[in-house]
Amino acid sequence: MSVCALVIAPIRIGDAVMAQPLLALLRRRDPALQIDVLCPPRIAPVFRAMAEVGEVLDTSAAQPRLTRLSRGWRLGWRLRARDYRRAYLLGDPPGSALATLIAGIPERIGCRGDAHRWLLTRIHEPQPAGPLPRVEHYARLAFTPREPLPGGLPAPRLERRAALEQAVCTRFALDPAAPLIVLCPDTSHARCHWPKRHYAALANLLADEWPEAQLILVGSARDRAAATEIAALAGLPLHNLVGETSVGEAIALLSQASGVVSGDTGLMHLAAAFGRPQVAIFGAGDPRHNPPRSPRARVEWLHPDCDAPCIDPTCAQGDPDCLDRIGPPLVFESLSRAMHFDLAGTRPLR
């Protein structure tokens, strides 16, 4: 008889992507294991792109105005009928962790600090050497608390869906036969994003090199003003879809992209999980901690001598331009290499 397990998902897109190797390890250890995921609706498209996931359950089924205790109680009774034997707690959307107890799930596995300690039956303690990269942090839940992680953990992998890719091209009047190059401006932190004028200059370099390509801007609604400025500065007919796509539509665009340029964002991890040629631009963040895990990803980073990662609005080292100094020609050359050559650097990529 197969065992059913429930994964309580993290609430950020990048973290959701980096949870996939855990699911792959669980399935590798028990090929008959059935894995369902409980997550907010916004994150659901990420898990629907994972081959290991059976059903994606919505945390918003409980009324949003209820207290955490009331939400946990209602959700727990909803889960009880599914007879889950294990729960992996990677996050705690309101009431979700408590729901695993109320649902009577006998094994509740997580890391100290990721969920309420008293809810867990198997606790993984923090590492003495400091926080693990997120992939390893989640992957160790597939093992006993003192069991060392094996070498060569699988990288995050998502599955393409041709029907969704076609649908998103139809909706936004894109030609699925022409290359798509996706630029992902991010303005979530005041000084941790690549300058808008750099994105505009890069767009012109790309248009000159690949006039047949469709240049697309993708991001959240908060980045719409920045994307509009980028399009104006570029003076090109860019497809500005920032703030217009759902997460699922953004995933469908990234999954078929011929090239992607982004900062350290969830979209960066999505592009890597689909194995798309990409350049990830880092400033005061540290790509050695949670890099894009793909052989077709290239990272541009100046190794600033500071307390990275940092999101402060002012720079303690007096160098607020660590991203500004990563110029468009450098990123263009890096993306060109990622798009044109395979791992050996000898054959053109399709």
Domain C-terminal end among 74, 109, 142: 142
Surface-to-core class of residue 68, CB atoms within 10 Å of its CB (0-12 exposed, 13-18 middle, 19+ buried) = middle
Q: What is the largest CA-CA distance in the chain?
A: 62
Domain C-terminal end among 113, 142, 171: 142
Residues 207 and 312 both lie in one domain: yes
**Rounded distance between C-alpha atoms, residue 297 and residue 299, angstroms:** 7
Q: Is residue 154 part of a domain?
A: no
**Rounded distance between C-alpha atoms, residue 142 and residue 146, angstroms:** 11
Give me the percent of the chain exceeding a pLDDT of 70: 86
Q: Is residue 346 part of a domain?
A: no
Residues 117 and 201 both lie in one domain: no
Q: Is the separation of the CB atoms in 24 and 154 below 8 Å?
A: yes
Mean pLDDT of 126-140: 88
Residues 47 and 166 both lie in one domain: no
Return the pLDDT at 248. 97
Q: Which of 139, 145, 143 is nearest to 125 (CA)?
A: 145
DSSP line for 241-258: -TTTS-HHHHHHHHHT-S
Domain C-terminal end among 142, 175, 207: 142
Q: Is residue 43 part of a domain?
A: yes
Length of the chain (residues): 350
Q: Is the separation of the CB atoms in 279 and 264 below 8 Å?
A: no
pLDDT of 342 higher than 50: no
Residues 73 and 8 both lie in one domain: yes
Residues 311 and 171 both lie in one domain: yes
Q: In what order do the strands lie in the sheet with 278-281?
A: 239-240, 214-217, 180-184, 259-262, 278-281, 297-300
- Please give the single-letter amino acid code of residue 326: I
Q: Is residue 202 part of a domain?
A: yes
Residues 119 and 78 both lie in one domain: yes
Residues 11 and 73 both lie in one domain: yes
Residues 189 and 137 both lie in one domain: no
Q: Which residues contact 148 (CB under 8 A, 6 or more apart)?
A: none
Q: Which of 108-117, 221-230, 275-284, 307-316 has the lowest mean pLDDT?
A: 307-316
Q: Is residue 157 part of a domain?
A: no
Full-model pTM? 0.91
**Rounded distance between C-alpha atoms, residue 68 and residue 98, angstroms:** 9
Return the pLDDT at 134. 94
Mean pLDDT of 61-75: 67
Q: Is residue 28 part of a domain?
A: yes
pLDDT of 244 higher than 80: yes
Helix (H, G, I), strand (E, B) or coil at 329: helix
Residues 309 and 182 both lie in one domain: yes
**Rounded distance between C-alpha atoms, residue 254 and residue 260, angstroms:** 8
**Rounded distance between C-alpha atoms, residue 262 and residue 284, angstroms:** 15
- Please give the single-letter amino acid code of residue 347: R
pLDDT tens readout for residues 77-94 = 889 989 999 999 998 776
94: domain CATH number is 3.40.50.2000
User: CA triplet 20, 22, 25: central angle to 5 degrees?
Assistant: 115
Return the pLDDT at 63. 52
Return the pLDDT at 66. 58
Q: Is residue 295 part of a domain?
A: yes
**Tokens encoding 4:** 């059913």
Q: Is residue 155 part of a domain?
A: no
Mean pLDDT of 9-22: 96
How many structural domains is the chain composed of?
A: 2
Residues 138 and 166 both lie in one domain: no
Domain assignment of residue 323, given as a range:
162-340
Helix, strand, coil content of the chain in percent (nearest 5):
35, 15, 50
- Please give the single-letter amino acid code of residue 157: R
Q: Per-residue confidence at 295, pLDDT binned at 50, 70, 90?
A: very high
Beta-bridge partners for 108? 87
The residue among 218 and 306 whose pLDDT is bigger is: 218
Q: Per-residue confidence at 341, pLDDT binned at 50, 70, 90?
A: low
Q: Is the separation of the CB atoms in 202 and 237 below 8 Å?
A: no
pLDDT of 297 higher than 60: yes
pLDDT tens readout for residues 82-131 = 999 999 999 877 678 888 999 999 999 998 876 667 789 999 988 877 78
**Rounded distance between C-alpha atoms, residue 343 and residue 350, angstroms:** 13
Residues 315 and 193 both lie in one domain: yes
Which single residue is written with the structure tokens 């309101």?
94
**Rounded distance between C-alpha atoms, residue 264 and residue 262, angstroms:** 7
Q: Which of 7-21, 47-61, 156-170 has the lowest mean pLDDT?
A: 47-61
Residues 82 and 169 both lie in one domain: no
